[in-house]
Amino acid sequence: MTDLKARFRKFWSNARFRIVFWATLTGVLCGVSGVGLPVEDVLSNLRNYLRIHPSKGEIAMVLQDTNTLNALGAMDVSRSNDAVVVDALFKAGAKRVFFDRALSYYADNKGNDEFVEVLKKYPNRVFLGAMPSNNGVGGNYAASLPVRQFRKEAHVVSLLALFHPFNLNMSIPFSSDSPMGQIPSMSVAIAGLKDYPDGVFQPDYSIDYKTIPTSSYIDVIRGKLDVSLVSGKDVIIAPGAISYNDIHPLPGQGYAPGGYAHAIAAETLKRGLPVQLGWLPPFLLVCVIIVSGLGRGRVFDVYRFSGLTVVLIAAPFVLNYISVQVAIFPALATAAVAVFRMRNLDRVEVAGETNAGSGLPSVQALRNYEAMSTKILVALKIRNYGAIIGSFAEHVEAQVAHEIVRRIRISDHDVTVYHEGGMFLWLSNIRSTFDLFENLEGLHRIVQNGIQVSGMDIDLSFNCGIDSEFDRTVSSRVASAMQSAEEAVRNDELVYQHDSRRHEAQWELSLLTQLDRAIDNGEVWVAYQPKLDVKTNRIAGAEALVRWTHPERGPISPDKFIRIAEEFHRIERITRFVVNEAVRSAVDLAQMGYDFSMSVNISAQLLRNPGLPGMISEILAAHGLPPEKLVLEITETDRLDRSSRTFQMLQRLVQSGLRLSIDDFGTGNATIDYLRYLPASEIKIDKVFVQAMEANKEDYLLVQSIIEMAHSLDRIVVAEGVETGTALEILKGMGCDTIQGYYVSRPVPFMDLIDNIERKHVRMNG
């Protein structure tokens, strides 16, 4: 978990990663919420306009238009008129007749009877429409059905349509619920589909409705019908007069009677079911392209994403020809956010990678150069650069820098020179270090003659540092080259070459400045090495050990960074961190039902800090751990006496309820003096003796003597470094209380410690 957090922080610190994250989140929100539907509709209408093409003419329209109503002298046609028209259409060779109306009222009159007789005359060939009710159930529910007398002799189809926001588009359901159950839409019935999905589809509105064969209702009544317009075709009878209030915006084609939308929808389905891919595929494609483009440079970002936008707009145009529909707004939104944010980032990076004073590329550009190079990196430090620039009232830095670069390029042709303050860096074209040294000496002689700026002669003095470690990235070599140039100035050498061994020493010192940040960001963590109670064969305690996993150098030896922390009096921060983690872990184990003690190493330096007892008491109180469950392991390098500050500190710690353990007993000063003076309840036999006792009789006897002596003084004995079953059996025979070592477990993360507590004693018994 710690590594995961550290890795996430590393990613999150990358500006381009953050841009990708927010762009992706924008796309997801747009896709899930459907907020981009109006934009999708506008783009769809534009594509339809560009793809406009004639109808195949397989469906005909008969419009109850204004001429019809004027000729009949009525506000609406009658069922008697409908009976005449239906009969005439079938006699003219029509396949089926579909009413784009809900004939939901019935009166006992001759016209209704005539209409029923015509329906009986042409069984299963007439389809009547069902509409939503003005005050009924909303949604996809056709509440208004044809009257029972009509629908007994005819089929019923749904005339429902879903209008998009702002009436920019219209979708048609495949079927609708109704009081008589599920009924197909008119378009599904005309297309003759038996299996169709739930939901809605978007008709191909690039079919020009004006090319659909159309006749006037009154012409059919008067016998003036052009038979060729309806023969062998399905015919839709639809209201077309303005007074019917059934004129709707047809996407991309202006206003038209609603019947044309059903005709276009039916022709769309006759061509095949539209494939609706939705918004996810184009969105994922954009995400893949964005992620694959990270780190390839700003030209890739701008032009690839700009081209991607064009493709996103053009691809649906091509897909529509094969009845594939996609929603591109979430992908467009993702690409737009990425382009906009990355272009802004590019402007910032360009500004940051250009030296404002000289106009040359800044050293920051080199720091961002993550690739490797087999060229020697040179850093040239002008010793009196600040004095030169400051001596001119006018801005002359660009002129000075230009003269310096011109002289560098005399013998090192066409190099790119990077500038920061008085430092100029470049990757030399000269491959040999020896030749480069000679070249820099020649450059020094040239520069010694001075340069002329604004009519004044200026004397220059410089020193150089070089880095030729080609196995590192250029960005990581910049600091070493610049440091070498500074070293050359201090040592008054013309050229100073970076030495990895010196660099390593400098890096060790830099650990001190990195340590606090490493603790905060999770690089520093605590491992736990279990302690096995020999008598019960159970893990009853553990030693908390600090670990540092550096993101670039990997695990760093505790001996290294603890030594440096002690040297520069920073050990308190590490100790506080380890004690806090150890106490928290002990409390967690206690809540799981384990009787457990934690051991923590305390530096000899910290034993002289009067604030130590207060720090430990504060941590124990914060987590609620009894002090006797915390063991402080003491390794002292100085001799003790009862009057020493260290001894007094140990007394205070014991009086507060804490337990002390003498670590590394048998080496250095940790011998009998400790047993005489220290109020310790435990001693730990150094692993040097434990690991050697199997083969060395003297070490065997020494370990046995320590155990007997400690027990005579009522001390608990812990043997460190137990790595074999034989060693365990020897120590068990000697009466040793506790063992610790690789035979029990290596130091492990806390979750692995829990597993060891539950499983390790099983192996011991086996």
- DSSP states along 425-446: EEE-S---HHHHHHHHHHHHHH
Q: Confirm if 347 and 389 have CB atoms less than 8 A apart.
A: no
- Whether the predicted pLDDT of 641 surpasses 90: no
Q: What is the pLDDT of residue 79?
A: 93
Q: What is the pLDDT of residue 300?
A: 44
Rounded mean pLDDT, 507-521:
74
Query: What is the dotted CATH code of the domain comprising 363-498?
Result: 3.30.70.270
- Whether the predicted pLDDT of 662 surpasses 70: yes
Q: What is the pLDDT of residue 765?
A: 47
Q: Confirm if 604 and 637 have CB atoms less than 8 A apart.
A: yes
Topology (CATH level 3) of domain 523-765? TIM Barrel (3.20.20)
Q: What is the pLDDT of residue 674?
A: 65
- Whether the predicted pLDDT of 409 surpasses 60: yes
Q: Confirm if 208 and 52 have CB atoms less than 8 A apart.
A: yes
Give the Cα separation of 236 and 260 in Å (integer): 9
Q: What is the pLDDT of residue 135?
A: 67
Rounded mean pLDDT, 306-318:
76
Q: What share of the chain has pLDDT > 90, as a percent?
A: 41
Q: CATH 3.20.20.450 residue ranges in the chain?
A: 523-765
Backbone angles phi, psi at 121, to 5 degrees: -65, -30
Out of 55-64, 430-439, 531-540, least confident range: 430-439
Q: At what angle do helices 433-448 and 397-411 cross, to 10 degrees?
A: 130
Q: Is 428 exposed, middle or buried (0-12, 13-18, 19+ CB in 10 A)?
A: buried
Map tokens 């013998």 to a residue.
411
Backbone angles phi, psi at 32, to 5 degrees: -70, -40
pLDDT-derived band at 86 (thresholds 50, 70, 90) equals very high
Rounded mean pLDDT, 548-560:
75
Tell me the average pLDDT of the chain: 85
Map tokens 């209201």 to a residue.
239
Give the Cα separation of 515 and 572 in Å (integer): 12
- Top pLDDT among 549 and 506 is at 549
pLDDT-derived band at 764 (thresholds 50, 70, 90) equals very low
Q: What is the pLDDT of residue 287?
A: 83
Out of 149-153, 485-489, 628-632, 666-670, least confident range: 666-670
Q: What share of the chain is helix, strand, coil (3-state, %, to 5)?
A: 50, 20, 30
Cβ count near 61 (within 10 Å):
25
Out of 114-123, 240-249, 365-374, least confident range: 365-374
* Predicted model pTM: 0.50
Q: Give pLDDT tens digits for 269-311.
A: 999 888 888 888 888 888 887 777 665 444 445 556 667 777 7
Q: Give pLDDT tens digits for 327-344.
A: 888 888 888 888 777 776
Q: What is the pLDDT of residue 672?
A: 65
- Whether the predicted pLDDT of 635 surpasses 90: no
- Whether the predicted pLDDT of 591 surpasses 70: yes
- Whether the predicted pLDDT of 575 surpasses 80: yes
- Whether the predicted pLDDT of 178 surpasses 70: yes
- Whether the predicted pLDDT of 760 surpasses 80: no
DSSP state for residue 95 in the 8-state scheme: S
pLDDT-derived band at 626 (thresholds 50, 70, 90) equals very high
Residue 278: beta bridge partners? Answer: 326
Q: What is the pLDDT of residue 297?
A: 47
Out of 372-386, 695-709, 729-743, 747-761, least confident range: 747-761
- Whether the predicted pLDDT of 355 surpasses 60: yes
Q: CATH 3.30.70.270 residue ranges in the chain?
A: 363-498
Give the Cα separation of 307 and 296 in Å (integer): 16
- Whether the predicted pLDDT of 38 surpasses 80: yes
